[in-house]
Amino acid sequence: MATVGLLYVGAVLFINGMMLLGKVDARAAAVFNLFVGALQVITPTVLIIAAGNRADAILGASGLFLFGFTYLYVGIGLLGGFDTTGVGYFSLFVAITALGFSFANFRIIGDKPFGVIWLYWAFLWLLFFLLLGLKHEHLTVYTGWVTAIQGWVTAAIPAFLLLTGYWQRWNQDLLAVLLAVFGVVVFGGLWLLTRGRRTLPGGTGRAGGETAAAH
């Protein structure tokens, strides 16, 4: 069930990245954020109820709320035209918490690839904090590309491979290393390519603009 939700996390990240890049209208993206946000709140609630007292299952489901609440926050903010600082500072909370979930995946759950993926998400939420909370508008284009790429690399592709059984066939240590190398090379290269780009028209002052594309 959580894997199905992860697939749609990939979709909403891709759409939000395209919104940051000025390819998707903000209000149109808001509706999909609400759909996925609702899914990512209902799913972990069901999983936690079904888990009983299994701490590992509760731990695995609890991180999904970070996504769900953010998408709902973003969707409502986009439709209402609210200032982005609330989403931005919530993103800081998520970025720090994501580091904890990364540690848990490495040391408690023993899932090294998702330990790396949680580091990806910590980086992404940090960018949302800088862009939406601190209004560093020069990061708009870079954040848009990182968001869109992470939609595929951290969510849509892993979810599809998990659903089809191919993810489990990979050597997990090798997969974790490949993900780490990909992140450093691609996002480092993107920074070099986009750091001279100015912000897209519209600025980052309101959640009703393309800069409220967080998560």
For residues 121-142, give the mean pLDDT.
Answer: 97
Report the C-alpha gap between 204 and 211 in whole angstroms.
Answer: 5
Distance of CA 24 to the CA centre of its chain: 18
Q: Which residues are CB-contacts of 47 (< 8 A; sequence separation ≥ 6)?
A: 1, 2, 57, 60, 61, 64
Each residue's pLDDT tens digit, 57-70: 888 889 999 999 99
Predicted TM-score of the model (pTM): 0.90
Each residue's pLDDT tens digit, 159-178: 999 999 999 999 999 999 99
Q: Which residues are CB-contacts of 92 (< 8 A; sequence separation ≥ 6)?
A: 125, 126, 129, 133
The pLDDT score that the predictor gives to residue 198 is: 52
Written as six digits, the tokens of 64 are 């999904």
Q: Which residues are CB-contacts of 27 (< 8 A; sequence separation ≥ 6)?
A: 78, 79, 208
Nearest alpha carbon to residue 10 among 155, 161, 215: 155
Angle at the Cα of 169 from the Cα atoms of 6 and 14, rounded to 5 degrees? 25
User: Sorting pLDDT into bands at 50, 70 and 90, what band is 196?
Assistant: low
Distances (CA, A) of 165 to 6, 64, 177, 213: 15, 21, 20, 31
